[in-house]
Every structure is written in C-alpha cells, then in structure tokens.
Structure 1
C-alpha cells in the first residue's frame, strides 16, 4: 500500500494515536485495506501525516494487540484476516452515528477547572507572537524529551516550589500521565508495580505487561507495611494528596517508603505530584523527591490542574542512573506535545505569568473550597467529609439506605454527574457508607449552594 489517508483532528480531546488506530481499524473492517497488504513504515507515515513516530507506534501496537495486523520482524506490519474474530460483523450494512457524550446540567467531576479565570489575553499574545516566520524552525521535529526551554523552566519551577534539584536533561515531556507511565515502565524488565487502592484510574493497567499489585491506603496514606510484604519493585504513589481519598502520606511512612526503595537496586518510587499547587490547610507538603538521598524517586506532574486539561502537557524527572537506559530505549522517539504549545508555555512561565496565575487560582479555589465545606457543615451535618486539605475535590460519605450505584443512578436521572469512590478501586474495600468524589473546581462559586442542594434533594436528604 502506498499511503494511508486519514483526517486527524488536533482540536479534539481524543489523542492522535487513538484517532489513527480507529481510522485504520475501520478501514480494515470495511475491507478498504486488503488482507495481507503491508502498512506504511512508521517513518513514512510520520512524514506523510506530520505526526510523531511515537504516535504511529502506539496506534500500530494497539492494532497488533487486537489482532488486526501482524508484525514480521525487519519487514513491517501486514493486515490480518479478521473473518474469525468474534467481535467483527461478517456483513456490515450500516455504520451507526457515534452517540454524543452527554453534558450534565450539574457536574461534580474532579477534573474540571475554573474556565472563567484562565488568562486568555496573555496566552493569546504568546501564541500570536510565536506563529510567524521567526519561529519557522518550530515546524521541524524537536527534541524527543521536549523543548529544552520548557524543560529548563520546569526545572527552575520545581526547585523554587517543591525543593527538587534536577536539570533540564533529566526531564521528559509528554502528552499526559497515561502516555508517560508506559515510558517509565519500559525502563524496567519484568517489573511488578504496586498501585494505591483506591487510586488513579486513568493508568491503563490492563494494557501493561507488568504485574499490578494493589496496596491499601488509610488516613496516613499508603500502607507501606503492606507494600513491604509484596514482590513489587516499583510503586506508583500520590503522597502529597492521595487520589482520590485526599490522604497525606505521613512523615513516618515517607521515611519508611524511602528506606524500602533503597533496600534493593531494582526498586523505585514513582511520585505523582498532580495537584500540589492547591493546599488549603497547613504548610505545603514537601515532595517525596526532595527528601530522597538515594535518587530512587521518579517525579511526575502535569499542568492539567494548574492550567488546563486540554493542554496535555505532563512530565517526569528521571534519576541520573536511569538516563542512559532511557536514551538507549527511546533514541528514535519524538516528543508527543506540539512544539508551539511547549514554547507558549515556556514563555508564559519565564515571564512570571504562571506563578501569578497559580496565586490567583489558589485564592479562587480556596474560596470555593471553604464555601462548599460551610454549606455541608451548616445544612447537611449528616454528610461526612474527608480529603479536604488540598486539591479540587473532597470526599463525601452519605448515610443512606441505597448503595453507591443506586445513588449515582438517581443523580444521573436528575442530570447530575458525580463519581463514586468504587470507580477507583482495584480490589474491593469495605466502606461504612456510600462515598463520592465532590469536585468543585469547575463550579461557579455563586452556584455551589444550588448545586449541592439539587444533589441532596435528588437523594431525598433534607436541608437544615
């Protein structure tokens, strides 16, 4: 086959690799690509579609895993005969329209931000300044670890805000935690990874070739005693604000965890510091990385909460001992974040606008946080609250005769989106009451009380 003609939409939240995967899959199913036909090489398709080879590799890997294509070493990828696949319709007469995602009138999702407070004017200025002939070199493929200018700004920010000493050379930029986690795991052969339970659900656990070990959390964070009894040599943890419970890893357990990592050469900690900027009670919690004397912590963070989810910029900081292996494995990769976006962000940080924006958003989210707690305490005292020291969501425990699934269904019937804690469990954990994540970041402060009242009314909980 000469080339694949697919329209990739860069203005949607769907990753480019997923769009490419869907396009090729549909072409194979509808027999627009013949059985046995060779797909274009990653390099040729990268040049033709103006996307990175990493994007193409991810798409091809998914097609390979699902049996749509086969790989012949040193030859390429070829279309398989899918007639025997049980999930393929033998005769396709109609392709139904993809249903639109429902937009709820009230949305308590924890991933929402305050849209009205984003500095559009300043961001637009940097974007406009970059898009001219003076920036034509940004049309070429950049550094595979991300633009050096942005990595330098991130290193400076981490030192000032989190006490982390690192260089730009240790930083790798990618389009989200979900994309960067497989990169990290490829650095370790036959690794067993421990994950917090409950924990971050966006990590594609079922797509990883690693043994996943759930480790419970309590009010002091990860149960390190439980971790020590496992065969894990990696642990993924959110120590400063555990997601979704909001627990903070205690000082004693931090020391215990660092000691565990130092016990074997193969052990490492992956610290996800996803929302450390927003803390409302007490002093800022130091990053685990800043306490590490043995270079056993791989630090991760993102601009999803601090700026916008759609920017799709995340990064990790590798200990020096892992840099050589990273450079060996990923020598042919390209950065998955557009260079223009990286430079806009770098200039935004360099000129001090990022710090100003964070200071402003801390005040805004603190006011929302305090108002939400005030409403629950004053008008709904039977509702338990936890995980309220930081971040953009709290946990509520709801004494009710109905379980989580029934309460979530009732909320949906009233056009309210709210997520139960059970969505984030790897293995069942018994809870005394149905527990939900109540996100407040994207709710206008003047609407918080009305939104909470609507939820409680749907659940037949009376207001005091």
Structure 2
C-alpha cells in the first residue's frame, strides 16, 4: 500500500500535499504506467485521512491527466515521460513546458491585442529614440526614471485622487518583483494577512520570501478587521477597489476601520493592491485608500501590464515616507529592472493623454462585451439553473450553478470539452464548500462564436446534473 508522511505537509492541506506527493511519484516513475492505485476507501483508511481527501486527490490527478479511471476497475497511472531521481516522493520535479490547445480559457483575462494602439506606441518609441538618443544607454536610477515617476504621480492625482511625491515611487518589472522587494523591506518579523477568498498567487510569493502569513476572512464589506488582531497580523493585503474574485468594493466605513487598525501600532501597514482599478464597469472609480491615509500606513501597488500588454513589465509602488527612507538606506543597491527606453516611452504615453484615451476605449469595448455575454448566458437554458453575480466588477463575473457536481468534477468535465475554468472555491484558504458550484468567468477576449460553443458545452455539463 502507498505510504506518505502527511506530518511533513507544512502549511499545505492534506489534499494539496497528497496530490503533490503522488504527482511527484508519477513523474519520477515510482508509480509506473498502468499501475493500479488503491481504492479511495482503503487508501483513506491506510493514511488515516478522510475519504474526501483521497477523492479530491484522485479527481485532481484525473483532471490533469496523470491517472485515468476505468469503470468497475478503479484508477490507473497514465503513461508519461519520467525521469529517474533519488529525491524524496514529495519533492518538486521540473517538467518540460508544453503549450496546451483548448477551445476557451476562462481562467484569466487576456488582452485584446487588436485594441492596443500599436501605431501610437510605435510613434512614441521612435520619438523617444530621437529625443533621448545616447541618454537611453545610461544607468537607470534605482527607483526608476524621474520623468516616468512624475508622470505616474500626476496620473494618480487625476485618476485616483492621490497626492504623491515622485520621490516616493519605485518602478520595477511588474508587481511580483516589487512584492519581493517589499517583503525584504518589511522584514521577517512582519506577519501578512491575505483575504479569504482571495488571490492565492500572493501567498506563493510569501512562501518563497520566507515570511509568515495567515488568511483573514472577508464579509460583504471586505476584510474582517477583528481577525487581524486575533491572528497577530501586522501587514494587511487588500484589494479595496475591486476584490478578486468576489468583485466587491470595500465601502468607506471598512476602509476607515482598516486605517485605524494600522495606525494603532508603529509597524502595521496596509498593502493596497489596485491591480484592476481602471476597469470599473459602473460608476467612477472609488478614491484609493492611500488618498484617505493620514498616518502614512498604506503601501500602494499597481501595474501597467493589465491595461497595456503583459510583455510591458512596468509596475510601481508608492511607499510611505518612513518606508521610503528605509528603502533608500538599506536597498538602493538594487538596480531598476525596467529599461530606460521603455520608461521614457511610458512617460510620454501618460503625459500626452494617450493612456487615458486607451483606457476609455477599452472600457467601452468591455462594457459592450459584458452586456452581450451576460445576455447570452441569461437567454440560454443555463439561466434556469444558474445566476450571474458581480457582472459590473472588472472583466469577470461569477456564475452560480445549482448542480450535484463537485467543483473538481465541473473542472474535469469542462476540460474534457476544451474549456479551462476556475471555481470560486479554488481561491479559498478555508470554508471552500461555502462557495461550491460558483464559476469565475473571465471574458475580456471572448469572441461571440467561441462563447456560443462555451455556453453549449456548459449546458451539456450542467443541465443533466442540476439540483432540484
């Protein structure tokens, strides 16, 4: 019988650890092609875990194609390329990346490349080469080109109501790089709080950075402030303008509560992740928390990758004065990771008003896209067993389906039809069952003909397995 040391799982759930351990054994060849796996009940009894833990593990391995299910026979390991290694079964293994073909990817918003103003951007780049010439070859300041920092400060004032000194802005190659610098700046004694449900990738950065974190539940207004004290959190990571994936906007009362909490102790801070603030479909953007902060406790982070193109890796963070002084004194040896050429071009794009015009065009397109897609869903048979939520929150919405299928079964059935989709429960650190049957639908680049096929496939999946 297969045996794994589940006491070595660390912060991972039983299911996550068992899944990774079995996946590693398959990739390494320890579990051979065609080998029959133990029954779910027998395996659960052997490991002294719940049958549900083993069931979820098997279903995830099924979903990703590592094992197969044969009716009335059980589960068997699929044939894969393997590598003989001597590492323990729970170690990570490097596999060759392979592009996957699929009908539709509903798991992330992809840029509509035909909407990007290529002609304008090309003109800006040519002008930048002419205007700056050999200056583009010089070393970029650690915090970024001053011209871009000034342009960002002016943009934040106009668009987010923020009074920011360019000297408090740090430019870097995307938010992931900036987060890594921020973790180092705040130090190992900080304990980070993340929203539950919430953006799980940030916790992977915390794990890699070796810092302590815990989840904090949200309610209808956002992060529960009382849990911050209960769990000893010192840094709260929030997305008040547009929570992902729930989509709620944090009201001013909860923002004030968080700001008061941060002001109570000298090393408490709030990380305001404003990743999707430009794409509010109804009404105007709500003023940022940073603009409400009178005690200099909010760290503001944003990126141009979401609004321009992903390959343009320009992100920025705004630090309170105390942290900016600390950064200058301890971390200014880090080189800026964005080329001067791209920074000067982005500065001109902002200064000349091209960025705001680009955002307005995208918003109009996305509003039209949202209305068409929601109408198509509501006019389909799916409307009899489902309901759309948060369709005004950015470029995704939630589809709650009354179904007997588990979330793992939903993902597997969709994958079999060439559709990649995530469920809301996947963004939970706890109480995942509370959100069962809720799909997170991203639609920013979805053509109508593809959408018709997606809706048809979802009808096929759900209409035979709906709850009464």
- Shorter-chain-normalised TM-score: which range? 0.7 to 0.9
* Equivalence for 2:415: 412
Counterparts of 2:243 and 2:325, CA distance in 1: 31
* Equivalence for 1:284: 285
**Which secondary structure does the structure 2 equivalent of 1:430 belong to?**
helix
Q: CA deviation at 1:347?
A: 1.2
Q: CA deviation at 1:446?
A: 6.0
Match of 2:111 among 99, 110, 113: 113
Match of 2:145 among 127, 144, 147: 147
- The two structures, once aligned, show a CA RMSD in angstroms of 2.4
Q: CA deviation at 1:445?
A: 5.0
Q: CA deviation at 1:224?
A: 1.7
TM-score normalised according to structure 2 size: 0.75
Q: CA deviation at 1:376?
A: 2.4
Match of 1:421 among 415, 419, 424: 424
TM-score normalised according to structure 1 size: 0.76
**Which secondary structure does the structure 2 equivalent of 1:442 belong to?**
coil
> Contact between 2:161 and 2:288, CA under 8 Å: does it hold in 1?
yes
Counterparts of 2:270 and 2:159, CA distance in 1: 20
Deviations 1:278-299 (A, max 9, x none): 1122342221111111111111
Unaligned regions of 5+ residues in structure 2, if any? 1-84
* Equivalence for 2:13: none
Deviations 1:386-411 (A, max 9, x none): 23222111111222111111111111
Q: Does 1:220 align with 2:217?
A: no
**Which secondary structure does the structure 2 equivalent of 1:104 belong to?**
coil
**Which secondary structure does the structure 1 equivalent of 2:311 belong to?**
helix
* Equivalence for 2:127: 129
The verdict on how the C-alpha distance between 1:263 and 1:107 changes in structure 2, with shifts beyond 3 A counting, is: same
Counterparts of 2:254 and 2:464, CA distance in 1: 38
Deviations 1:109-166 (A, max 9, x none): 2331222211111111222333469522212320111111111111000000000110
Counterparts of 1:265 and 1:170, CA distance in 2: 19
> Contact between 1:114 and 1:443, CA under 8 Å: does it hold in 2?
no
Q: CA deviation at 1:187?
A: 1.9
* Equivalence for 2:72: none
Q: CA deviation at 1:451?
A: 3.2
The verdict on how the C-alpha distance between 1:229 and 1:457 changes in structure 2, with shifts beyond 3 A counting, is: same
Counterparts of 1:352 and 1:445, CA distance in 2: 31
Unaligned regions of 5+ residues in structure 1, if any? 1-83, 89-94
* Equivalence for 1:177: 175
Larger relative helix fraction: 2
* Equivalence for 1:246: 247
* Equivalence for 2:193: 194
* Equivalence for 2:438: 435
**Which secondary structure does the structure 1 equivalent of 2:279 belong to?**
coil
